[in-house]
Amino acid sequence: MVDLYEKIVKMRQEGHDLVLVTVIDKVGEGPSDIGKKMLVVSDELTFGTVGGGSLERYALKRSQDVFKTRTHLTEKYTLDKNLHEPYSVTLPMVCGGSVTLFYEFIGVRNFVYIFGGGHVGAALCKVLTPLNFHVTIIDERKNIIDEFVGGDAKVFSKFTNFIDEFGIKDNSFVVVCTPSHLHDYHVINKIIEKKLHPKYVGMLCSLEKLYEYLDATYQIFGRDVDLSYFYAPIGLELGGGSPEDIALSIASEILSLHHGVTSIRHMREKTDAASRYW
């Protein structure tokens, strides 16, 4: 019998993200019992069971969504194809009753790539690390990398070379705060050029530099280029201009997007860039 908790420790040590699916409620008949668990490593590798059949196949499929959002999920299932209950997913089964599953994401909250390890990059790293983000610092200044404290990975590399060599994970967060706006532009354009899929790319810049960048980018890539993930000026309007103030603003923006909060106005929405360019 597989010890799921030992398997979790082993898989996490190997760097795998996991979803632990647990039966937390059951009404009526059916193959599931409260407490049953299934550990999902990928769409093809699982351990344990939550009851088999259509329920388990659906749970495996739903786990793939959890891998993408990197957040927990609770969902109720009606095990009768002829019944449709509110706030419940109907599955093609005939055993009747219902089952509620809890999907627990096990892994870092998300991956953040900070291009530029200067004052803002260093302050942002300090804010994000305790929040269970995996933070990678990239800088082409060796003294910055050698002296940088914190983060999960520090990479001494030309900024765009890092993207060419390692890429960035889908749905990750990218913060661009290099020592030169020219480097900033090259990083963002490399992401566009390689057709990568971040959830967020934020650029530390003034409005003048933002308009300059957007004009140049539309000339290179055309007006149809997708900049929906691009946030500049970066952050939420919290006030203050110190590196620590800016870092808190950026971290708050990242958290709001991670959790899908839509009631917050981002700095980019408080400028005429919103109507001129997006």
Per-residue pLDDT, 31 = 80
For the chain, give every domain's residue range: 4-106, 110-277
What DSSP string runs through 41-104? SSSS-EEE-SS-HHHHHHHHHHHHHHHHH-S-EEEEEE--TT---TT-EE-S-SS-SEEEEEEE
Strands 37-40 and 46-48: antiparallel
Instruction: Quote the pTM value.
Output: 0.82
**H or E, element range at 268:** none
Tell me how far apart the alpha carbons of residues 140 and 159 are, in angstroms, rounded to a whole number. Answer: 6
Multiple choice CATH, 110-277, 3.40.50.300, 3.40.718.10, 3.30.430.20, 3.40.50.720: 3.40.50.720
Per-residue pLDDT, 14 = 86
Longest dimension (CA), the chain: 66
Per-residue pLDDT, 272 = 65
Q: Decide if 268 contacts 232 (C-beta within 8 A).
A: yes
Per-residue pLDDT, 273 = 64
Which residue from 35, 110, 100, 41 is spatially nearest to 71, judged by alpha carbons?
Answer: 110
Residue holding tokens 């969504």? 65
Spell out the per-residue pLDDT of the chain, length 278, in tens. 578 999 999 999 888 899 999 999 999 877 889 999 999 998 788 999 998 889 999 999 999 999 988 999 999 999 888 888 888 999 988 888 899 999 999 998 899 999 999 999 999 999 999 999 999 999 999 999 999 999 999 999 999 999 999 999 999 999 999 999 889 999 999 999 999 999 999 999 998 899 999 999 999 999 999 999 999 999 998 988 999 999 999 999 999 999 889 888 888 887 666 566 65
Per-residue pLDDT, 275 = 62
